[in-house]
Amino acid sequence: MSNSIHVKLDGPKLTPDRFIKAAQAFLALVTGVSKNLSEKAQDDEWAVETEKGSVIIRARTENPDRAVVIHAIGRGVRALNSGVRSVPESFTKEEVKAARDLAAVIDGGGKFVTTISLANGEVMADLSPAVIKTADFILSGEKYEAFGSIEGRIETLNSREAYPLACYVSEVHYKRQVVCHFNKKEDEERAIAAFRRRVLVYGLIHYAAEGYPTSVDADTLRIFPEESDLPTLEQIQAIYR
């Protein structure tokens, strides 16, 4: 696992203010994610290096426990690049802002910095204007809704007279409980029978300002079989003999 990550800036003319802005944003991203992943992380665990004859700023650590930070940064920046409107895993809004500041060093006219990439021996992510757009949405605190699916286990059921059933699904990606309200009575009954089972709920998902799902108005419910109910490898092989 790599112990270093670097940012590379390419373009006709790198001015001092753009270099300083890029360096500050890059190091804020590295140290911020490091502290998010471990309360014991310290800024001095990272050494800053530059390469002669190129515009590369590298952060290197000798602590093997911090190697996961490098991969978390790559995943987070790729998520922002792809337009995922939620705070990436291992990020807070501070790291989202740092990624935005780094992407903002690129100028649209191509006069100064034209490309910025993150790498750890191989390119992990190229920053683009999409990072700025996605980050602005997250940082603005805007709530939104979208149709989609939630996968996880039903961990809590709450029912009161004259109120619809509230089913709490422990979502696997965000590691949060999402409350589900079913539009069909038969799906409520199926959810009760599927208590502690793994399910997929599809419907209108409501997202918090930080970008994670909070509730879903469910149209359909799919219940996954338990591992013990699945055929064994030997049974599958026997079918195709």
Give me the percent of the chain exceeding a pLDDT of 90: 50
57 band by pLDDT with thresholds 50, 70 and 90: very high
- In sequence order, the 6+-apart residues with CB closer than 8 A to the CB of 146 are 204, 205, 207
- In sequence order, the 6+-apart residues with CB closer than 8 A to the CB of 170 are 152, 153, 155, 176, 177
Domain residue ranges of the chain, discontinuous segments joined by +? 4-140, 144-228
pLDDT tens-digit readout, 68-88: 999 899 999 999 999 888 888
170 by DSSP, 3-state: which?
A: strand
The answer, yes or no, to whether residue 89 has pLDDT greater than 70, is yes
**In the chain, what is the greatest distance between 2 CA atoms, to the nearest angstrom?**
72
pLDDT given at position 8: 92
The answer, yes or no, to whether residue 23 has pLDDT greater than 90, is yes
pLDDT given at position 141: 77
152 band by pLDDT with thresholds 50, 70 and 90: very high
pLDDT tens-digit readout, 163-197: 678 899 998 777 789 999 998 889 999 999 999 99
Ramachandran region, residue 19 (left: φ > 0; alpha: ψ -120 to 50; beta: rest): alpha
The answer, yes or no, to whether residue 59 has pLDDT greater than 90, is yes
Domain 144-228, CATH class in plain words = mainly beta
Kindly give the pairing relationship between strand 123-127 and strand 144-158. Answer: unpaired
pLDDT given at position 33: 94
Average pLDDT over residues 136-152: 86
- In sequence order, the 6+-apart residues with CB closer than 8 A to the CB of 61 are 3, 4, 45, 46, 47, 67, 69
91 band by pLDDT with thresholds 50, 70 and 90: very high
pLDDT tens-digit readout, 30-45: 999 999 998 888 888 8
pTM over 0.75: no
